Amino acid sequence: MNYSLVLHTEEKNTTLCPINESTKDAVFTADKITITLKVSEKRGVKVFDVSAEGIGSCYFSLHGEGEGELYSFNDKCEEEHVFRQSAHDPTKYVFAIDGSPVPMVAAVTADTIDIFISDNPSDYNNYTTQHIIPERHEFYLASGDPGGSPNFKKDRENQYTPPNTPYYHDLSGDVRTFKFIWVKSEAKTLKTLRRDAFLAIENVWGEGRKSIYRAMCFGANYMHIRKNETGTSDKWVVAGIQYANTQYNRDAFWQTWILSPEIEEQSYRAHTARGVVQAENPLFFVIWSYRVFSKGGKINKELCDIAFNKIIECLNKVGDGRYCPDSDENHAYRNWFDICCYEDDDADAYSQGLCVCALRAAKEMGYDVGEWYEKAKAFYPILYNGEFVQMSLKKPYHALDYSLGDLLHYVLFNEKFLSDEIVNNTYYHIMNSAASTPYGVKIVSAPDGSYLPMEAFGAYGKVHPEMARMDLGRYANGGSYHIYEMIFHIAAYVHGAKGALDNMIHRLMIDLDFDGATHEYMHTLKGNGVKANQGWNACIYAIWDILCKRGVGDERYFIEAEKKLQTIE
């Protein structure tokens, strides 16, 4: 195929120069705009950096044309599409968009495979697009938007209307650049094409480590960075392409473990007073503040005070050390398990553990926690029924997220607050039950490991209407969550549980065998992975890397991950 650099203005499109192996630095002038092209190479990847100065508005694209098959990150493109990375409305949760998680186009010919990837959308006001036109054997990888959504199949109510007219960047504004990379590939499948794309992203915008697993974790999250259109910070990180343009504080807490300190700071600064008091956000914000504090960074003291005071308020509801989060009118939305309902004075193991960790973090930052740290820590064993830690005081079920706070406490402070006996007994009780399926361990289950009846997710005799519609094996109705199962295994490992490392490796392989990515969860009856490249999964790499550097983790996990990813087809 033939490639060229194109300048798009409201008046016309201008081809500036061919893009090939011999393309060198150059300066062009067109339509009162001066364009500077710089060509470099970083760790074997070609980097093209385009900048513009002048009057008016424009965007740039890499144009490709010629015989060959064209791929977006999603798959081979059989008909014309404009793929986008943003719906440009951070208030929308439900939306419809022809989206691709990575701004990429690959051209596959008989002789070569060329992968082109734009820098992350945040540098272009979230207006990266990939216009692929197989019928004409051409594509545009662009820093702007051509408008329109050809062949877009709406599978639900469309709450986002793609622009019908092009979007150009005003040269008097903050977007005057376009950066893209070019790498040659020998991929034979979509899985290996994505693998090579992630490696290229890691080599140019990451640390350049020789790890496919890290490249996959970093690359997905790097491409989840967006311009924060609410204005609370310059940038933030979204959970995945399905969430388009909004940062979810819980997810961002985990995602930023693998991103740069600059993006972590931006994401941390994006919090609002309203946001830090919802669900488990006060716990995460205090812990995140400590993470910033421990690196010598400046915390947002005003918001940290608000979050800390909310924690104390929730502890004061009963006063015996149990943490009782706020919830909505249905008694739901008190933690990540949003549509599960709890009675107001109930204490769930996940939140209780996070509370212990948050109080320790607050104490380290100089807050007066009084007796609350010791009281919250002393209350936690009450959730242990002699065989396993219950999902909550009033829900006597298995829950894989029970040890999350203990693991965070260990990673951040090098101390565990749960005993080996409690953790090991809980671990073996769950792993030796019917909770284990061919597609992962159920996030929640009955004491014998069977799926829970729907009423188990309710409170005061009522089940949240959204939960009531959830089919068995899906989402939190017995699905297997990558992040929570892996944390479940890691926590057991640091407490000395036999087989935990093997189970970590096995769980990673379940995801990778499905489609070469990790997912929000695996459906434990249908066996399909949902939401590939869910951003928060990257924290598993980061946490295990920390433990390995501390001499606690076993490199075999990383070795097996690399073996799998190197041979995946």
Q: Taking a C-beta distance cutoff of 8 angstroms, is the pair 62, 19 a contact?
A: yes
What confidence score (pLDDT) does residue 154 get? 66
What order of strands is seen across the sheet that includes strand 480-481? 480-481, 519-522, 529-532
Q: Nearest 5 degrees, angle CA 174-CA 81-CA 190? A: 100
Output the six-digit token pair for 2.
């033939």
For each of the domains in the chain, give its residue range(s) and CATH number, in order of start: 2-190 (no CATH), 218-567 (1.50.10.10)
Question: Residue 23: which residues within 8 A CB-CB, separation 6 or more?
Answer: 17, 37, 39, 48
At residue 531, φ and ψ (nearest 5 deg) are 60, 75
Q: How far is CA 454 from the centre of its chain?
A: 29
Q: Taking a C-beta distance cutoff of 8 angstroms, is the pair 352, 280 a contact?
A: no
Round to whole Å and give the CA distance between 500 and 36: 54
Q: What share of the chain is helix, strand, coil (3-state, %, to 5)?
A: 35, 20, 45
Q: Taking a C-beta distance cutoff of 8 angstroms, is the pair 244, 238 a contact?
A: yes
Q: Taking a C-beta distance cutoff of 8 angstroms, is the pair 59, 144 a contact?
A: yes
Q: Taking a C-beta distance cutoff of 8 angstroms, is the pair 121, 181 a contact?
A: no
Q: Taking a C-beta distance cutoff of 8 angstroms, is the pair 323, 351 a contact?
A: yes
pLDDT in tens, the chain (569 residues): 999 999 999 999 999 999 999 999 999 999 899 999 999 999 999 999 999 999 999 999 999 999 999 999 999 999 999 999 998 888 877 777 888 999 999 999 999 999 999 999 999 999 999 999 999 999 999 999 999 999 887 665 555 666 788 999 999 988 899 999 999 999 999 999 999 999 999 999 999 999 999 999 999 999 999 999 999 999 999 998 888 689 999 999 999 999 999 999 999 999 999 999 999 999 999 999 999 999 999 999 999 999 999 999 999 999 999 999 999 999 999 999 999 999 999 999 999 999 999 999 999 999 999 999 999 999 999 999 999 999 999 999 999 999 999 999 999 999 999 999 999 999 999 999 999 999 999 999 999 999 999 999 999 999 999 999 999 999 999 999 999 999 999 999 999 999 999 999 999 999 999 988 899 999 999 999 998 888 999 999 999 999 999 999 999 999 999 999 999 88
